[in-house]
Protein backbone atom coordinates (compact mmCIF):
# COMPACT_ATOMS: atom_id res chain seq x y z
CA UNK A 1 0.00 0.00 0.00
CA UNK A 2 1.29 3.45 -0.92
CA UNK A 3 2.33 5.64 2.00
CA UNK A 4 0.03 8.64 1.76
CA UNK A 5 0.60 11.32 4.41
CA UNK A 6 -1.76 14.27 4.94
CA UNK A 7 -0.20 17.57 6.00
CA UNK A 8 -2.80 20.24 6.89
CA UNK A 9 -1.40 23.77 6.94
CA UNK A 10 -2.58 27.26 7.80
CA UNK A 11 0.82 28.71 6.75
CA UNK A 12 1.82 29.21 10.40
CA UNK A 13 5.27 28.51 11.79
CA UNK A 14 3.89 25.53 13.68
CA UNK A 15 2.35 23.92 10.60
CA UNK A 16 5.63 24.38 8.69
CA UNK A 17 7.45 22.65 11.57
CA UNK A 18 5.04 19.73 11.23
CA UNK A 19 5.66 19.51 7.49
CA UNK A 20 9.43 19.54 7.95
CA UNK A 21 9.20 16.90 10.65
CA UNK A 22 7.11 14.59 8.45
CA UNK A 23 9.53 14.96 5.54
CA UNK A 24 12.47 14.12 7.81
CA UNK A 25 10.70 11.23 9.52
CA UNK A 26 9.84 9.52 6.23
CA UNK A 27 12.92 10.59 4.29
CA UNK A 28 13.89 7.00 3.44
CA UNK A 29 10.35 5.86 2.60
CA UNK A 30 8.46 6.24 -0.66
CA UNK A 31 5.63 8.61 0.23
CA UNK A 32 3.04 10.82 -1.35
CA UNK A 33 2.48 13.92 0.76
CA UNK A 34 -0.78 15.83 0.43
CA UNK A 35 -0.49 19.40 1.68
CA UNK A 36 -3.95 20.73 2.48
CA UNK A 37 -5.07 24.31 3.04
CA UNK A 38 -8.70 25.24 3.57
CA UNK A 39 -10.52 28.54 3.87
CA UNK A 40 -14.11 29.24 4.81
CA UNK A 41 -16.06 32.39 5.42
CA UNK A 42 -17.06 33.28 8.95
CA UNK A 43 -20.84 33.60 9.30
CA UNK A 44 -20.75 36.32 11.94
CA UNK A 45 -19.56 39.91 11.71
CA UNK A 46 -19.19 42.25 8.75
CA UNK A 47 -16.20 44.05 7.31
CA UNK A 48 -15.57 46.36 4.37
CA UNK A 49 -15.06 43.45 1.97
CA UNK A 50 -18.25 41.62 2.84
CA UNK A 51 -20.20 44.84 2.42
CA UNK A 52 -18.88 45.16 -1.11
CA UNK A 53 -19.56 41.62 -2.27
CA UNK A 54 -20.08 38.94 0.38
CA UNK A 55 -19.03 35.90 -1.62
CA UNK A 56 -17.08 36.88 -4.69
CA UNK A 57 -14.49 39.09 -3.00
CA UNK A 58 -13.87 36.65 -0.17
CA UNK A 59 -13.60 33.61 -2.43
CA UNK A 60 -11.26 35.26 -4.93
CA UNK A 61 -8.90 36.72 -2.34
CA UNK A 62 -8.90 33.60 -0.18
CA UNK A 63 -8.36 31.30 -3.15
CA UNK A 64 -5.47 33.43 -4.38
CA UNK A 65 -3.84 33.52 -0.93
CA UNK A 66 -4.31 29.77 -0.52
CA UNK A 67 -2.79 28.88 -3.87
CA UNK A 68 0.12 31.26 -3.40
CA UNK A 69 0.85 29.89 0.06
CA UNK A 70 0.74 26.28 -1.16
CA UNK A 71 2.94 27.21 -4.10
CA UNK A 72 5.53 28.72 -1.78
CA UNK A 73 5.56 25.55 0.35
CA UNK A 74 5.89 23.36 -2.74
CA UNK A 75 8.88 25.35 -3.98
CA UNK A 76 10.62 24.97 -0.62
CA UNK A 77 9.95 21.22 -0.51
CA UNK A 78 11.09 20.52 -4.07
CA UNK A 79 14.48 22.02 -3.19
CA UNK A 80 15.03 19.06 -0.86
CA UNK A 81 15.29 16.79 -3.93
CA UNK A 82 14.23 13.54 -2.28
CA UNK A 83 13.49 10.95 -4.97
CA UNK A 84 11.34 8.97 -2.53
CA UNK A 85 8.80 11.76 -2.14
CA UNK A 86 5.98 13.10 -4.24
CA UNK A 87 4.00 16.20 -3.30
CA UNK A 88 0.42 17.19 -3.98
CA UNK A 89 -1.26 20.42 -2.93
CA UNK A 90 -4.97 20.73 -2.17
CA UNK A 91 -6.81 24.04 -1.71
CA UNK A 92 -10.47 23.88 -0.73
CA UNK A 93 -13.11 26.40 0.27
CA UNK A 94 -14.54 24.47 3.19
CA UNK A 95 -13.95 23.71 6.86
CA UNK A 96 -10.72 21.89 7.63
CA UNK A 97 -12.45 19.01 9.37
CA UNK A 98 -14.78 18.40 6.43
CA UNK A 99 -11.89 18.45 3.97
CA UNK A 100 -9.84 16.02 6.08
CA UNK A 101 -12.78 13.61 6.39
CA UNK A 102 -13.45 13.63 2.65
CA UNK A 103 -9.82 13.23 1.64
CA UNK A 104 -9.21 10.47 4.16
CA UNK A 105 -12.26 8.55 2.95
CA UNK A 106 -10.98 8.84 -0.61
CA UNK A 107 -7.24 8.30 -0.18
CA UNK A 108 -6.92 6.34 3.12
CA UNK A 109 -3.94 8.15 4.58
CA UNK A 110 -1.32 6.26 6.55
CA UNK A 111 -1.02 9.22 8.89
CA UNK A 112 -2.06 12.82 9.45
CA UNK A 113 0.78 15.08 10.61
CA UNK A 114 -0.15 18.53 11.89
CA UNK A 115 1.02 21.30 14.19
CA UNK A 116 -0.13 21.52 17.79
CA UNK A 117 -1.83 24.83 17.07
CA UNK A 118 -2.17 27.38 14.31
CA UNK A 119 -1.82 31.11 13.82
CA UNK A 120 -5.39 31.93 14.93
CA UNK A 121 -5.15 30.32 18.36
CA UNK A 122 -4.74 32.44 21.46
CA UNK A 123 -1.40 32.80 23.14
CA UNK A 124 -1.00 30.36 25.99
CA UNK A 125 -3.20 27.66 24.48
CA UNK A 126 -1.45 24.32 24.32
CA UNK A 127 -3.48 22.73 21.52
CA UNK A 128 -5.55 24.47 18.88
CA UNK A 129 -9.23 23.83 18.23
CA UNK A 130 -8.51 22.45 14.77
CA UNK A 131 -6.08 19.88 16.19
CA UNK A 132 -8.48 18.84 18.93
CA UNK A 133 -11.34 18.68 16.44
CA UNK A 134 -9.48 16.28 14.16
CA UNK A 135 -8.53 14.10 17.13
CA UNK A 136 -12.18 13.87 18.15
CA UNK A 137 -13.69 13.30 14.71
CA UNK A 138 -11.16 11.38 12.59
CA UNK A 139 -11.22 7.78 13.78
CA UNK A 140 -9.67 5.92 10.85
CA UNK A 141 -6.16 7.33 10.84
CA UNK A 142 -3.39 7.97 13.40
CA UNK A 143 -2.57 11.63 14.02
CA UNK A 144 0.94 12.91 14.77
CA UNK A 145 0.92 16.27 16.57
CA UNK A 146 4.12 18.26 16.18
CA UNK A 147 5.08 21.23 18.42
CA UNK A 148 6.90 24.27 17.07
CA UNK A 149 10.18 23.62 18.92
CA UNK A 150 10.53 20.04 17.73
CA UNK A 151 13.92 18.39 17.18
CA UNK A 152 14.16 17.34 13.53
CA UNK A 153 16.39 14.33 14.20
CA UNK A 154 14.98 10.83 13.88
CA UNK A 155 13.40 9.54 17.12
CA UNK A 156 15.50 7.02 19.03
CA UNK A 157 13.00 6.31 21.79
CA UNK A 158 9.20 6.34 21.66
CA UNK A 159 7.07 6.22 24.81
CA UNK A 160 3.73 4.40 24.64
CA UNK A 161 1.51 5.62 27.47
CA UNK A 162 -1.18 3.11 28.50
CA UNK A 163 -2.79 1.54 31.54
CA UNK A 164 -3.80 -1.49 29.46
CA UNK A 165 -7.51 -0.75 29.92
CA UNK A 166 -8.07 -0.22 26.21
CA UNK A 167 -7.24 -2.86 23.65
CA UNK A 168 -5.08 -1.47 20.88
CA UNK A 169 -5.85 -2.97 17.49
CA UNK A 170 -3.00 -4.83 15.80
CA UNK A 171 -3.18 -2.42 12.86
CA UNK A 172 -2.63 0.55 15.19
CA UNK A 173 0.33 -1.02 16.97
CA UNK A 174 1.75 -1.72 13.52
CA UNK A 175 1.74 2.04 12.85
CA UNK A 176 3.81 2.53 16.01
CA UNK A 177 6.18 -0.32 15.13
CA UNK A 178 6.63 1.05 11.61
CA UNK A 179 7.57 4.47 13.00
CA UNK A 180 10.07 2.86 15.36
CA UNK A 181 11.63 0.87 12.51
CA UNK A 182 12.16 4.04 10.46
CA UNK A 183 15.02 5.02 12.77
CA UNK A 184 15.64 1.81 14.74
CA UNK A 185 13.99 3.37 17.79
CA UNK A 186 13.06 1.50 20.95
CA UNK A 187 9.57 1.59 22.45
CA UNK A 188 9.15 2.22 26.18
CA UNK A 189 5.70 1.24 27.45
CA UNK A 190 4.80 3.45 30.42
CA UNK A 191 1.95 2.58 32.78
CA UNK A 192 0.66 3.82 36.14
CA UNK A 193 -0.79 0.39 36.92
CA UNK A 194 1.16 -1.85 39.29
CA UNK A 195 1.98 -5.12 37.45
CA UNK A 196 0.69 -7.27 40.32
CA UNK A 197 -2.62 -5.39 40.48
CA UNK A 198 -3.60 -5.73 36.84
CA UNK A 199 -7.05 -7.11 36.12
CA UNK A 200 -7.56 -10.07 33.81
CA UNK A 201 -8.48 -7.70 30.96
CA UNK A 202 -5.41 -5.52 31.58
CA UNK A 203 -3.11 -8.56 31.65
CA UNK A 204 -4.60 -9.80 28.40
CA UNK A 205 -4.05 -6.41 26.73
CA UNK A 206 -0.50 -6.24 28.05
CA UNK A 207 0.32 -9.69 26.67
CA UNK A 208 -1.16 -8.65 23.33
CA UNK A 209 0.95 -5.48 23.20
CA UNK A 210 4.07 -7.48 24.06
CA UNK A 211 3.40 -9.89 21.20
CA UNK A 212 2.94 -7.03 18.74
CA UNK A 213 6.22 -5.37 19.75
CA UNK A 214 8.34 -8.47 19.28
CA UNK A 215 10.12 -7.07 16.20
CA UNK A 216 11.44 -3.93 17.94
CA UNK A 217 13.39 -3.26 21.12
CA UNK A 218 10.92 -2.54 23.91
CA UNK A 219 10.52 -2.47 27.68
CA UNK A 220 7.60 -2.17 30.11
CA UNK A 221 7.84 0.50 32.81
CA UNK A 222 5.56 1.29 35.76
CA UNK A 223 5.30 4.46 37.85
CA UNK A 224 2.90 4.74 40.77
CA UNK A 225 1.36 7.33 43.09
CA UNK A 226 1.56 10.12 40.51
CA UNK A 227 -0.76 11.36 37.75
CA UNK A 228 0.00 10.57 34.12
CA UNK A 229 1.00 14.10 33.08
CA UNK A 230 3.70 14.32 35.80
CA UNK A 231 4.85 10.73 35.29
CA UNK A 232 5.15 11.17 31.54
CA UNK A 233 6.89 14.54 31.79
CA UNK A 234 9.51 13.21 34.20
CA UNK A 235 10.02 10.00 32.25
CA UNK A 236 10.49 11.79 28.94
CA UNK A 237 12.78 14.45 30.38
CA UNK A 238 15.04 12.01 32.24
CA UNK A 239 15.34 9.60 29.34
CA UNK A 240 15.31 12.30 26.64
CA UNK A 241 12.63 10.40 24.73
CA UNK A 242 11.82 11.70 21.26
CA UNK A 243 8.14 10.84 20.76
CA UNK A 244 5.07 10.05 22.85
CA UNK A 245 2.19 7.84 21.74
CA UNK A 246 -1.13 7.02 23.33
CA UNK A 247 -4.43 5.34 22.52
CA UNK A 248 -7.01 7.99 21.61
CA UNK A 249 -10.32 6.42 22.57
CA UNK A 250 -13.53 7.50 20.90
CA UNK A 251 -14.97 10.44 22.91
CA UNK A 252 -17.83 9.54 25.20
CA UNK A 253 -21.27 11.13 24.93
CA UNK A 254 -20.39 13.58 27.72
CA UNK A 255 -17.03 14.47 26.20
CA UNK A 256 -18.72 15.27 22.90
CA UNK A 257 -20.93 17.68 24.84
CA UNK A 258 -17.84 19.33 26.32
CA UNK A 259 -17.66 17.61 29.71
CA UNK A 260 -14.42 15.96 30.81
CA UNK A 261 -10.96 16.00 29.31
CA UNK A 262 -9.92 14.11 26.21
CA UNK A 263 -6.89 11.85 26.50
CA UNK A 264 -4.43 14.28 24.93
CA UNK A 265 -4.95 16.88 27.65
CA UNK A 266 -4.46 14.28 30.36
CA UNK A 267 -0.96 13.65 29.02
CA UNK A 268 0.13 17.23 29.65
CA UNK A 269 1.85 19.49 27.15
CA UNK A 270 5.25 19.06 25.51
CA UNK A 271 6.91 21.94 23.69
CA UNK A 272 9.52 19.86 21.84
CA UNK A 273 8.22 16.27 21.68
CA UNK A 274 5.71 15.07 19.03
CA UNK A 275 2.66 13.10 20.20
CA UNK A 276 1.25 10.22 18.15
CA UNK A 277 -2.45 9.52 18.73
CA UNK A 278 -3.33 5.92 17.93
CA UNK A 279 -6.99 5.36 17.25
CA UNK A 280 -9.37 3.13 19.23
CA UNK A 281 -13.16 2.84 19.19
Decide which of 54 and 91 is more confident: 91
The domain tally of the chain equals: 2
Q: Among residues 248, 268, 269, 15, which one has the least CA distance to residue 133? A: 248
* Domain final position from 124, 146, 168: 146
Compute the mean pLDDT over every residue in the chain, rounded to the nearest whole number: 85
| Shared-domain flag, residues 173 and 128 | no
| Shared-domain flag, residues 170 and 136 | no
Backbone angles phi, psi at 268, to 5 degrees: 90, -170
Task: Please tell me the distance from the alpha carbon of residue 77 to that of residue 74, in angstroms, as a whole number.
Answer: 5
pTM of the complete model: 0.86
| Cα dist from 214 to 161, 205, 218, whole Å | 18, 15, 8
The fraction of the chain above a pLDDT of 70, given in percent, is 83
| Shared-domain flag, residues 142 and 213 | no
| Shared-domain flag, residues 207 and 255 | yes
121 within a domain of the structure (yes/no): yes
Phi-psi region of 169 (alpha: psi -120 to 50; beta: other; left: phi over 0): beta
Beta strands in 207-272 (DSSP E): 218-222, 243-249
Task: Please tell me the distance from the alpha carbon of residue 32 to that of residue 5, in angstroms, as a whole number.
Answer: 6
Examine the pLDDT at 4 and tell me if it is beyond 70: yes
Beta bridge partners of 191: 222
Amino acid sequence: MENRILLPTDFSKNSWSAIRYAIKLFENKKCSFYILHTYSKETHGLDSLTLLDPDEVFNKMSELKSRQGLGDILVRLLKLRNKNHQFHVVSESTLLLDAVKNLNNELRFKMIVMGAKGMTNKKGETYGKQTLGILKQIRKCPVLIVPTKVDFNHPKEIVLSTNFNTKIEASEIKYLVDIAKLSNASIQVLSLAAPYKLSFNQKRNKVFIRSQLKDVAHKFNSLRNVNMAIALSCFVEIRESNMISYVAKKPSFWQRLGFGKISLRKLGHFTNVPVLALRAN
